[in-house]
Structure 1
């Protein structure tokens, strides 16, 4: 932090506490200027911009069995703020490995007096490892999802009777899905859901749907449908633009990539602000199935404006990959990555190369502001039996390193995870790894890649036991968990590292994504520079508005030179 500006922030802090002076921003923290007339926030990458680097480790990660039976194949996966996961597949894929409670079976549409007593969704307690079946009434196969500002799971679209469905799962102990089978304006199968700055969602596309709609966090709302010819323009004979990549940018526009083209869109008006250059290499969306993420946004008082946001896109398939795979020709997946400054007019893609080519991978933002690329295959595309050669080595991507030096290969997995696998960051920093079913039913033998129900945890390098002496511990009872835009909040930590200085400490806020088909929807990581760190107390300013951090629940981590604490749930509104 620049010395003069840092002194100003500290002076303001000592004159006012958070009760007497709730925000350094005018207008009650809704965004704006600090008293000297300069904007508060800026965006860039990395956790340590000072002289010290992150603590070094030669640890390449470790795999551990978590549970031998997930009950249901984890096609869709979401972590909830009550430390429970929900995952589900399709009601149309036949028997799973868990049944619904006796007397609570699902009526089968179009088949009078017939019921389905198999579970197709479960809730998983990460502490007790207890699995509880949840009953769907509509088919959520290849649907979209995300957390509402209240922390509820909002599931949109799916197949057949579920294609127009809106579903909500709340956080109570015995909550059940609430569903409105006709809640959406159009069918949404293989569509993308992205949270906007006010907590509403935009849902893009779906099979043969060249439009989008704005959706509220409820079962019923006024339908708002907007045509978007761009989606039709990017459709190959085998589509390659399903589950398009969408990211809310800090100016309120949305970056949208479909196939190999991308635009900046004003979601409320439907206006295309500009089109970006074509991303070379092939198709990036389903069934080509690359992966993508909005890289971490860094906010601090030392850099005046939030103007920059970068998008990373890696892997995918050739344009005719599906056609070739159906003939038994499994084409090599894309090995390159593109990174672009999405907020800058005239920006070009910066191309990089992964050590391993990849399709169907998950891309996760980690608590230390690095990126994990995990799961997938080297040949073929998404679809039943349409890929070969699983990629077992995760990749660590370090955004702040120089081009050509950003990838590190990590410890190899034992279990192949391909089509319909999913992953998520857990509160303790481990990665839950689940699913993989390349078959049209639950098949456990006599196929090349059996349906996979085993759960694993992957420990990234920052969980090296040798780094534990540098690991902060959040004292939750003495920390603020309810945040208000632009206002001061405090986090109390215990840290045995006596050499830790103010510039060593950063705080990250991770929005847990909804992961399906290699794409983590609503994923976001905000890196916050503290105003002050002293005697175990970290003083910070919350993000200024929902364009930087949409309202809702985040996992907050305190990071000491790349070593994160266990996460604490916070809610910002």
Structure 2
């Protein structure tokens, strides 16, 4: 679990609405044919499988894998090696299990991880075996000297398959993990305001079943400062400052577990500050009960095709469910990749609007031969249709931006659009870069901002 915690210039993604009124349609005609997007192979191999990914503020991506799968295909520089007497596979390892990928130059370099993992400064917490109480930090730099630093035995509890969420005061809350029915904070004792302890959360005990299905709980920070936590099929609203559950929501109406190892996904839908705040969570995927045990016996059950939406800000919230074919007409199917992406793969939104995709390793170790789905070490990027040349008349260019902001501060983004549009047809969003792993995006948030037109040009701020 990793979080980018330093105050930095937020990543701005500008989207122009394509559902325009007739007055706008007369100025620009959208493509009359179906665009599916394009795939580009960035790197045939980065030497490791991209199990975890995090975008950081200098336009680079930190990628890492677990360290107990044996050697990777990327050597550590300068003859460096990792010595770990407690490693269950390879006690002396001279290969890298983490890389720093430069988006602009499409290059990468190895980083050194000492223990198995599972924030600006990148903060990564917990893991497996001798890594389960460890905190690791990586401070971005402009040269090639920055690397991971580890603080062993820092955490109060072992955190394997836990979820991290950055809080408004800059702390990080660590929720759950394997056989951990509690949460704690990093750093400890911030100005003496929080004790160096973990806090019991029986909700996590109650949502554990024989296959667990409450690991990597879905955690979203809501505008009111409370935490929405979803595990298995249930969800709550937690006041973490008082350690009080202030609300329990109805269980999702289709009884398919949604959390790891059933491995569904969740998203907090965009918050639009141009209207009264509405907070809605969508949960998709997962698997029928018993699917994990059956998979061990090579009986593979189809994943759940249902999604549920819950308006948590409503007075009487209830789940709205869509199943399989009922999504027809509600979404589009983009162009598929030619590379299978299975277990231990990840995907990440980049600053230019593309999607970075990497990893895939359903094998116990790195295995490239004699199996149906070998380990994949490649990186590729998906370019969505709205970035294609056909949409160039309404693709914005950022002209100026405030480089550093703090919580609650107003900031300016100046941009131009080739085709003149009215402010009511402009949508500007600010995205918090997520840490992605196991079909999960931690610390995810997207806000639609207010826009003011600079008359009479096509410049906006």
1:167 is aligned to: 136
The residue that corresponds to 2:383 in the other structure is 459
Q: Return the alpha-carbon distance in structure 2 between the equivalents of residues 485 and 288 of structure 1.
A: 36
Instruction: Report the CA distance shift for 1:532/1:487 in structure 2 as closer, same or farther (over 3 A).
Output: farther
TM-superposition CA deviations, 1:505-530 (whole Å, max 9, x none): 22211111000111010111111021
Deviations 1:10-52 (A, max 9, x none): xxxxxxxxxxxxxxxxxxxxxxxxxxxxxxxxxxxx9689847
C-alpha separation between the residues in 2 aligned to 1:299 and 1:315?
29
Q: Counterpart of 2:393 in 1: which secondary structure?
A: helix
Q: Matched residues in 2 for 1:130 and 1:457: separation?
A: 14
Q: 1:385 aligns to what? A: none
Is the 1:240–1:319 contact (alpha carbons within 8 Å) kept by the matching residues of 2?
A: no
Larger relative contact order (Cα-Cα within 8 Å, sequence gap ≥ 6): 2
2:160 aligned partner: 189
Matched residues, number:
433
Residue 504 (structure 1) shift: 2.0
In structure 1, list runs of 5 or more residues that go unmatched: 1-45, 357-402, 540-573
Q: CA deviation at 1:59?
A: 0.7
Q: How does 1:37-116 map to 2 (within 5 A)?
A: 51=21, 56-57=30-31, 58-110=34-86, 115-116=92-93
- Which residue number corresponds to residue 240 of structure 2? 267
Pairing 1:499-510 to 2, within 5 Å after superposition: 499-510=420-431
Whether contact under 8 Å (2:217, 2:229) holds in the other structure is yes
1:223 aligns with 2:196: yes
Residue 215 of structure 1 and its aligned partner are, at CA, apart by 1.6
* Structure 2 counterparts to residues 271-282 of structure 1, below 5 A: 271-279=244-252, 280-282=254-256
Distance 2:112 2:405 in 1: 34
Contact 2:188 2:195 in 1 (8 A): no
Q: Residues 485-496 of structure 1: matches in 2 within 5 Å?
A: 485-496=407-418
Q: Tell me which of 271, 287, 294 is aligned to 1:324.
A: 294
Give the one of 108, 131, 147 matched to 2:108: 131
**Shift of residue 102, structure 1, vs aligned partner:** 2.8
Q: SS of 1:466's equivalent?
A: helix
1:463-518 CA distances to partner (integer Å, 9 max, x unpaired)?
1220012211112xx33222344544332223211x31222222211111000111
TM-score, normalization: structure 1? 0.72
Contact in 2 for aligned 1:47/1:527 (Cα 8 Å):
no
Q: Distance in 2 between matches of 1:294 and 1:278?
A: 17
What does 1:439-478 align with in structure 2 at a 5 Å threshold?
439-475=363-399, 478=400
Q: 2:447 aligns with which of 526, 529, 532?
A: 526
SS of match in other structure, 1:500:
coil
- TM-superposed deviation, 1:264: 0.8
C-alpha distance in structure 2 between counterparts of 1:410 and 1:50, whole Å: 22
**Are positions 1:251 and 2:221 aligned together?**
no
The structure 2 residue matched to 1:176, chosen from 136, 144, 147, is 147
Output the CA distance in 1 between the equivalents of 2:445 and 2:328.
25
Secondary structure of 1:468 counterpart:
helix
User: What whole-Å deviation, never above 9, does each CA across 1:371-406 have from its counterpart, x for those lacking one?
Assistant: xxxxxxxxxxxxxxxxxxxxxxxxxxxxxxxx7642
Which structure 2 segments of 5+ residues have no match? 1-15
- Residues 1:413 and 2:337 are matched in the alignment: yes
Instruction: Provide the alpha-carbon RMSD of the alignment.
Output: 2.5
- Work out the CA distance in 2 between the residues paired with 1:87 and 1:330: 30
Q: CA offsets, 1:234-264, max 9 Å, x none?
A: 1111101100100011111111110111111
8 Å Cα contact 2:41-2:380 kept in structure 1: yes
Cα deviations across residues 311-335 of structure 1 (Å, max 9, x unaligned)? 0111111121111111121011100
TM-score calculated relative to the size of structure 2: 0.88
What secondary structure, in the 3-state scheme, does the structure 2 residue paired with 1:325 have? Answer: helix
Distance 1:56 1:350 in 2: 32
1:434 and 2:358 are equivalent in the alignment:
yes
SS in 2 for 1:450: coil
Distance of 1:98 and 1:166 partners within structure 2: 24
Task: Give, in whole Å, the separation in 2 of the partners of 1:72 and 1:217.
Answer: 33
